[in-house]
Amino acid sequence: MAINAGSQAYGVDLPPTQYDQDWTTQSPTTTTYTAGQPEVGVNFVAPSSGRVLVTLGAGTRTTTAVTTRAVVTFIVYNDNSDGPVVQAADFNNGITGIGTASVSQYRYVGTFKMISGLTPGRNYYAQMVHRSTAAVAAGVVSIAARDISVIPLT
Amino acid sequence: MPDIGIGDQITTAWWPAAVEDEDATDLVVTSTAFIPGTSPCDVTFTASRTGRAAVCVAGNWTQASAGNRIFISYEVYLGTSAAGTLVRSARSGFGISDNGATGGSLEQGWGNMTMIEGLTPGATYFARVVHMTEAGTTSTVTHRRIIVFPLP
């Protein structure tokens, strides 16, 4: 639903921006997406446009000279994480990084993805998820400082 | 500019639609000048009444050897194509750069966001992702995305 000239703005036109963040180090060991512990996610209300911007931030590293990388992305559900998936986890929607090349330190970066076609006024849940690009022992691939924002767009 | 309150009248030029495009075509990066590549990733958008917009660029890439950096940025033209007047030229500082991962062709990806201002309210603009390498043929962009949305 687009905002057109002469439209009345209601409260739902610009619902609040939502944000969540956690510093707990995550260490994925498989190629299956997991929300981790604690989970980082936000409930949000879709604006009249049905469009929101999802921003992600994370620090990723690989602690030994292997080719495995961390992948940090997100899922959008109707209502909550038990609801139908609106936007599945997608490698291309997230962050992938091996850390700094020589000393295996965290590289902190962010990324952006627009979600469109949401039902105005409906509740959604955006959940950060992560995985490894290959099966590795715990501690080889690490993720720090996950954050997610969901910003209503026009 | 006043805040938007409940019940306010919205005119199109205030808050035109946010737009996004993405492309998953693998493009080998050989150019040492910014180019859009053979599979474009671009949007047309309407400038808001503030003349300000945010531009997000995100991508994924691989590098066959570490060293030569890849740059992903964007440029903005007046009108609906790159035939129009260039109003924001591509700069590495408005985008992403990376010098590859130890171990060879490992895909990495992230994004960046910048603001553009001084746009003509209500005018149509064209924004596209461009990329380059500083030397050599060691990089491939595997995914590109651009998002433009109006700012207060």
Q: What are the pLDDT digits (tens) for A70-87?
A: 999 999 999 999 999 999
Q: Do the beta carbons of residue B10 and residue A7 sit within 8 Å?
A: yes
Q: Does A153 have pLDDT greater than 60?
A: yes
- Whether residues B6 and A92 touch (CB distance < 8 A) is answered with no
Query: Is residue B114 within 8 Å of B54, Cβ to Cβ?
Result: yes
- Taking 60 as the threshold, does the pLDDT of residue A135 lie above it? yes
- Cis amide linkage into residue A84, ω under 30° from 0: no
The b-or-e profile of B87-115 (16+ CB within 10 A means b, else e) is bbebeeebbbebebbbeeebbbbbbbbbe
Q: What is the pLDDT of residue A12?
A: 59
Q: Give the span between the Cα atoms of A115 and B23, in whole angstroms.
A: 15
A13–B113 C-beta distance less than 8 A: no
Over residues A134-148, the mean pLDDT reads 93
Which ipTM value was assigned to this complex?
Answer: 0.88
Q: How many CB pairs under 8 A join A and B?
A: 115
CB of B121 within 8 Å of a chain A CB? The answer is no
- For A92-134, the pLDDT digits (tens) are 999 998 877 655 789 999 999 999 999 999 999 999 999 999 9
Query: Worst-scoring range by mean pLDDT, A114-118, B62-66, B74-78?
Result: B62-66
pLDDT digits (tens, 9 = 90+) for A7-60: 666 555 789 999 999 999 999 999 999 999 999 999 999 998 999 999 999 999
pLDDT at residue B66, rounded to an integer: 62
Task: Please report the pLDDT score of residue B134 as a whole number.
Answer: 86
CATH architecture of A20-152: Sandwich (2.60)
Contact at CB, B103 and A13, closer than 8 angstroms: no
Search chain A and give the residue with CA nearest B24. A92
Find the mean pLDDT for residues B56-75. Answer: 88
Instruction: Give the distance from residue B94's alpha carbon to the nearest chain A alpha carbon, in angstroms.
Output: 14
Cβ contact B140:B70 at 8 Å: no
User: Quick check: B1 pLDDT over 60?
Assistant: no
Domain boundaries, chain B: 40-150
Computed on alpha carbons and rounded to an integer, the radius of gyration of chain A in Å comes to 17
Distance from CA of A65 to the nearest CA of B (A): 7
What spatial distance separates the first Cα and last Cα of chain A, rounded to whole Å?
A: 10
Is pLDDT above 80 for B124?
Answer: yes
Residues of B (82-111) whose Cβ lies below 8 Å from A:
99-104, 106-111
- Residues whose CB is less than 8 angstroms from the CB of residue A120 and which lie 6 or more positions away in sequence, other chains included: A1, A12, A46, A47, A48, A49, A50
Query: Which residues does chain B have within 8 Å of residue A49's beta carbon, measured at their own beta carbons?
Result: 17-18
- Of A114-118, A123-127, A140-144, A148-152, least confident by mean pLDDT is A140-144
Greatest alpha-carbon pair distance for chain A in Å reads 59
Q: Is the pLDDT of residue A68 over 60?
A: yes
Q: Do B17 and A10 touch (CB under 8 A)?
A: no
Q: Which CATH architecture best describes the domain B40-150?
A: Sandwich (2.60)
What residue in B sits closest to A104 (Cα-Cα)? B102
Using one digit for the tens of pLDDT, what is the confidence trace for B88-119? 999 988 899 887 765 567 889 999 999 999 99
Inter-chain CB proximity A154 and B18 less than 8 Å: yes
Residue of B nearest to A58 (CA): B110
Are the Cβ atoms of A69 and B15 closer than 8 angstroms? Answer: no
Per-residue pLDDT, A9? 60
Sign of CA dihedral A78, A82, A84, A88: positive
Domain residue ranges in chain A: 20-152
pLDDT tens for B30-51 read 899 999 999 999 999 999 989 9
- The pLDDT of residue B103 is 56
- Note the pLDDT of residue B109: 93
